Structure 1
Amino acid sequence: METQDIRTAIDRHWVASAAGDLVAEHEIYLDDAVCEYPQSGEIIHGRHNLQALRSHHPDKPSGFEVRRIVGKDNLWVTEYMITYGSKPTYTVSLMEFRDGKVSRETQYFADPFEAPSWRAQWVTR
């Protein structure tokens, strides 16, 4: 699959995810895809289980913003922010492609934190 085709598929995936379109959101995955959430230790086997898990999430996002997508060949990274209620969560998705679809995804979730004052002289806000 060409780089542009993969990028187009990723863009469609995130638009569908932001819109809550569970069918279109999961078209990007192979039937035997594996999705891992390292922070909770969960591994979801199969597109069907991933879609079912996401369809039972008790909250719907109140905001969704893709910050950056970079990739080459079969490895792509998306940084995005998803908001539930008023709580933003910064997320990184690593997608590995096989035969033009996602075979493995690893997602990391991080809550915002207050910047410590001791490093203020070296950063911008």
Structure 2
Amino acid sequence: MTQAAALNLVRDFWRRMASNDFNSVRTLLAAGFVLEWPQSNERIRGGERFARMNQEYPAHGPWRFTLNRLIGSEHEVVSDVSITDGVQHARAISFFTVEDGLIVRLVEYWPEPYPAPANRVHLTEPLDGDAQGR
């Protein structure tokens, strides 16, 4: 698989996730697919459980995904994605392992946002460019 094909596979993964038809994502996953969430110490094995987990996750509306960044090689792809259901907002950094045109492993980090510490306010500015009275 080429680098371009691996990147397109992951783009297709996020496009299918955005359709909220999580079963359609299963066709992109290898038979031995594994998802790992190191922060919560969880592992999900198989496309069926992956789709079911996404279907059962509590949501206030359809999930929307914004692909912020995508980089990778022919076997490893990393994405930075913003996710919302209109009420909940999250950002995920996802590491995909690709073999034979399918995703075999996905390791995701879901960082929690937090306010900037006051002790460095004189050195920083908000990412959105709003100085917020500083």
TM-score between the two structures when normalised by the length of structure 1: 0.88
Measured in 2, the distance between the counterparts of 1:100 and 1:51 equals: 19
Unaligned runs of 5+ in 1: none
Measured in 2, the distance between the counterparts of 1:121 and 1:25 equals: 45
CA spacing shift, 1:10–1:62, aligned 2, 3 Å: closer
The aligned counterpart of 1:34 is 34
Q: Which moved more, 1:81-90 or 1:29-38?
A: 81-90
Name the SS of the counterpart of 2:125 in structure 1. Answer: coil
Q: Which amino acid aligns with 2:83?
A: I
Q: Which amino acid aligns with 1:100?
A: G
Q: Which runs of 4+ in 1 moved over 6 A?
A: none
Name the SS of the counterpart of 1:78 in structure 2. Answer: strand
Name the SS of the counterpart of 2:6 in structure 1. Answer: helix
The aligned counterpart of 2:83 is 82
Q: Which moved more, 1:36-45 or 1:53-62?
A: 53-62
CA spacing shift, 1:29–1:96, aligned 2, 3 Å: same
Task: Please identify which structure carries the higher strand content.
Answer: 1
Measured in 1, the distance between the counterparts of 2:88 and 2:56 equals: 19
Q: Which amino acid aligns with 1:14?
A: W
Unaligned runs of 5+ in 2: 127-134
Distance apart, 1:61 and its partner CA: 4.5
The aligned counterpart of 1:13 is 13
Distance apart, 1:107 and its partner CA: 0.8
Name the SS of the counterpart of 1:93 in structure 2. Answer: strand
Measured in 1, the distance between the counterparts of 2:79 and 2:62 equals: 17
Q: Which has the larger radius of gyration?
A: 2
The aligned counterpart of 1:114 is 115
Does 1 or 2 have the higher relative contact order (CA < 8 Å, sep 6+)? 2
TM-score between the two structures when normalised by the length of structure 2: 0.83
